[in-house]
Structure 1
Amino acid sequence: MKPRDARAEKVFDLRRDNFTAGDCWILTDGHRVSLVEQPGGQSPKQQVTLDRVTFNRLIDWYMRDQKPRPADASDR
């Protein structure tokens, strides 16, 4: 199961509900997704928490291929 598909109590079926990359981490509880920048032993520098539906919509857009913008005379 993907973390994006885990709702509410299904989060407990995941091997893990969080992932860390450097000083940043992501966590889901099945209803919300939190992205946090927090150096070890310090208070968070920044964070955002979104409902999972909104987060998934943002990620879907971010991962979708787009056709390049057509070049016009003003770009040259």
Structure 2
Amino acid sequence: MTEPAYPRKAPWIIALLVAIVVPILTFATQQGQCFDAAAGGGESLCSSGPTVGWAGAWLITAACVILLVISVVNLLRRRSAD
């Protein structure tokens, strides 16, 4: 009796999905802040960005791209081995 093929591919498919979803969530979760001007007048300064900061968001995205490439390569190897 042969083993089903899906258990060998399942971890790489999950890793592929994680590599796609995590960067989207990283950039989608925003944090904003405003610095109000003095009571006498002036302008308020507001900014927003990813919760982990721009550097953190790009670092997470780079790691996910690496995971994505590794997952695709391993899935293609599994496909050619079947």
TM value normalised by structure 1 = 0.28
Report 1 or 2 for greater relative contact order, CA contacts < 8 Å, sequence distance ≥ 6.
Answer: 2
Structure with the higher fraction of residues in strand conformation? 1
- Tell me the TM-score normalised to structure 2 length: 0.27
